[in-house]
């Protein structure tokens, strides 16, 4: 955990040292990695408890997706767009804590009111986000939603408190708090398995057979985990010297910029969430399509969630950790009008993220079914393959996703949320268009794969649009250097992938990896093949003189005593 930064005037603030950025990134990456590993354990237990391509699994996934969708609309885009830049400015001027108090007060009240309204109307939202479900499925999804939607308030509280911590350069707690969430969820699922037993593929419970106690234990535990994740942040805030006070009113115009930026960010996220709604209709329709069953090969919305969880592991550990560490520094550059430092940090971030996401893309495609087999140990072979196909489609957009997130953060510190809104429209059209094209013109087993592929293409559209607009805004992106780095990384990973692909021809196919021995073999394939891929890739980068590879590895090497 880092110590709270001492307040300083905006004019006296110095550019953040590169080693400090690496240290902050490493702290957050370690917290995120721990959280993601525990999250995979939680997902493994969730599949063991309620299945994967099963009615209950899809009903719970639809319900548990609602607070995330509402949070994205009301909080994630708005708060990330408006909070960090304004909190950084507020904490560097006299009386700035009053502004922060107002942000927390108003944001908390709005989020609480929205949570109550969405919970009361849960049935309508479940019906809207699904397609073709029976009354029994809708009823089960609604029951789960009553327990899950209250997560929205705690998601908002976690973001509000976490952004204050980030603005004070206390990065550790924000990234480590989700570990507590996953621990609570894991304990709850273990209790469920002990009380109600594991999911039975041969004899799954019908939606109407789920008891209120079983529903409460699954949904209530998930919400309790999010609550713990948010409330634990109060401790480092108090220790860092911040004391929140209720402040609803303040000087006229104090929050004008926040309101303007937040309104455009809200519009952008609303467009994105319309896309989420439409593509979830495709995935939920696949879940109940003819031929879909509890252990079958047709991926529904629950399988999409599992694929998305795996896909987001490298993104969260690599991109989000670095972007969060850079965000406060970039806001400081803009406050001082130092565009040269902003371009330098952005170029460094793009190159560092590129080195790592290029490798992650190749690894996740090469080992897709073995990764799923190693994580979802209770899933059938057909379920494993269904998730692997969806994940592989998504991963095609992992590299552009990393760049898009960094670009988006820069737009926000520049208070250019309107540009983000306009760019979200073609991104959403690409996602929805591809997903629905798959639904109209392919068999149901490919519908959710189409949702994943549409997500990847949306990221490609996003990076092209955002790069062009941002280059004009800040006077260049160091584009030649960034593109050369990606070209070298692509060449190195292609050679490494060819070596590993040849070796994979000697590995047993996923269909043969049944039982405990098969799961151990899947882990061995991922671990052994991954090390070989990494070794050949690193060697290729060294031959191509890619300095960013060492920069990316330096925090790990330092921790191992080699840096």
Contact criterion met (CB below 8 Å) for 454 and 279: yes
How far is the first Cα of the chain from the last one, in angstroms, to the nearest whole number? Answer: 21
Contacts of 485 (CB under 8 A, 6+ apart): 351, 354, 355, 546, 548
**Given this model, what pLDDT does residue 11 score?**
33
Mean pLDDT of 141-156: 95
* Higher-pLDDT residue of 281, 260: 281
Distance, in Å, from the CA atom of 212 to the CA atom of 220, rounded to the nearest integer, reads: 11
pLDDT tens digits, 53-95: 889 999 999 999 999 888 776 655 555 555 555 666 666 666 6
| Mean pLDDT across the chain | 84
The confidence band for 267, taking pLDDT boundaries of 50, 70 and 90, is: confident
pLDDT at site 523: 94
Exposure string for 187-219, b = 16+ CB within 10 A, e = fewer: ebbeebeeebeebebeebbebeebeeebbebbb
Instruction: Specify the higher pLDDT residue, 154 or 559.
Output: 154
**pLDDT at residue 305 in the model:** 92
pLDDT tens for 193-246 read 999 999 988 888 889 999 999 999 999 999 999 999 999 999 888 887 777 777
Predicted confidence at residue 314, as pLDDT, reads 87
* Of residues 421 and 30, more confidently modeled: 421
> Mean pLDDT over residues 398-406, rounded?
93
pLDDT of residue 255: 59
pLDDT tens-digit map of 101-115: 777 787 788 889 989
**Number of neighbouring beta carbons within 10 Å of residue 387:** 31
The token pair at 385 is 């393959």
The tens digit of pLDDT for each residue in 404-425 reads: 989 988 887 787 767 878 888 9
pLDDT > 60? residue 562:
no
If you ran DSSP here, which 8-state letter would residue 73 be given? I
Q: What percent of the chain has pLDDT over 90?
A: 50
For residue 75, the 8-state DSSP code is I
0.95 surpassed by pTM:
no
Give the model's pLDDT for residue 32: 73
pLDDT grade, residue 100 (50/70/90)? confident
Q: Where is pLDDT greater, at 535 or 271?
A: 535
Please give the Cα distance from 201 to 71 (Å, whole number).
Answer: 33
pLDDT, tens only, 350-368: 998 999 999 999 999 999 9
Closest CA to 66 of 4, 128, 140: 128
Please give the residue that has the higher pLDDT: either 468 or 326: 468
Which range, of 156-170, 223-237, 449-463, averages the lowest pLDDT? 156-170
């Amino acid at each position: 955990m880092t110590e709270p930064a001492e307040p300083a005037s905006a004019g006296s603030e110095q550019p953040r040292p590169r080693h400090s950025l690496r240290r902050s990134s490493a702290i957050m990456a370690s917290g995120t990695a721990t959280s993601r590993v525990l999250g995979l354990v939680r997902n493994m237990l969730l599949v063991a408890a309620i299945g994967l391509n099963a009615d209950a699994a899809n009903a719970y996934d639809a319900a548990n997706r609602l607070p995330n969708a509402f949070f994205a609309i009301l909080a994630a885009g708005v708060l990330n767009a408006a909070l960090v830049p304004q909190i950084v400015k507020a904490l560097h001027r006299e009386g700035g804590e009053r502004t922060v108090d107002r942000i927390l007060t108003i944001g908390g009240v709005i989020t609480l009111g929205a949570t109550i309204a969405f919970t009361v109307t849960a049935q309508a939202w479940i019906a809207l986000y699904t397609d073709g479900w029976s009354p029994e499925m809708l009823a089960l999804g609604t029951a789960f939603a009553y327990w899950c939607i209250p997560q929205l308030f705690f998601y908002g509280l976690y973001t509000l408190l976490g952004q204050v911590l980030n603005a004070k350069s206390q990065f550790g707690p924000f990234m480590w708090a989700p570990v507590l969430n996953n621990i609570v969820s894991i304990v709850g699922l273990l209790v469920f398995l002990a009380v109600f037993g594991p999911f039975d593929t041969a004899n799954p419970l019908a939606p109407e057979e789920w008891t209120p106690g079983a529903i409460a234990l699954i949904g209530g535990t998930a919400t309790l985990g999010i609550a713990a994740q948010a409330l634990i942040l109060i401790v480092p805030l108090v220790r860092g010297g911040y004391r929140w006070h209720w402040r609803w009113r303040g000087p006229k115009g104090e929050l004008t910029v926040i309101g303007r930026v937040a309104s455009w960010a809200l519009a952008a996220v609303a467009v994105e969430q319309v896309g989420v709604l439409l593509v979830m209709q495709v995935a939920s329709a696949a879940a109940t399509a003819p031929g879909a069953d509890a252990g079958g090969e047709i991926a529904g919305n629950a399988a999409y969630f599992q694929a998305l969880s795996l896909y987001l592991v490298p993104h969260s550990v690599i991109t989000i950790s670095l972007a969060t560490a850079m965000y406060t520094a970039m806001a400081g550059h803009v406050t001082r009008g130092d565009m040269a430092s902003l371009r330098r940090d952005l170029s460094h971030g793009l190159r560092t993220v590129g080195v790592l996401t290029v490798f992650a893309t190749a690894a996740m495609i090469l080992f897709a079914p073995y990764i799923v087999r190693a994580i979802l140990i209770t899933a059938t072979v057909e379920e494993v393959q269904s998730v692997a196909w969806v994940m592989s489609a998504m991963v095609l957009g992992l590299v552009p996703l990393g760049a898009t997130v960094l670009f988006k953060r820069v737009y926000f510190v520049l208070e250019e949320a309107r540009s983000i809104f306009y760019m979200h429209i073609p991104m959403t059209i690409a996602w929805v268009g591809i997903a629905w094209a798959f639904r109209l013109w392919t068999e149901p087993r490919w519908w959710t794969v189409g949702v994943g592929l549409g997500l990847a293409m949306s990221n490609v559209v996003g990076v092209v649009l955002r790069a062009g607009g941002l280059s004009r805004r800040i006077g260049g992106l160091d584009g030649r250097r960034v593109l050369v780095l990606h070209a070298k990384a692509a060449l190195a990973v292609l050679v490494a992938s060819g070596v590993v692909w040849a070796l994979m021809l000697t590995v047993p196919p996923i269909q043969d990896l049944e039982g405990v021995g098969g799961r151990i073999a899947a882990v061995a394939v991922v671990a052994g093949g991954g090390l070989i891929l990494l070794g050949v890739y690193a060697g290729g980068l060294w031959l191509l003189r890619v300095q960013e590879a060492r920069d990316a590895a330096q925090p790990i090497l330092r921790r191992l005593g080699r840096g």
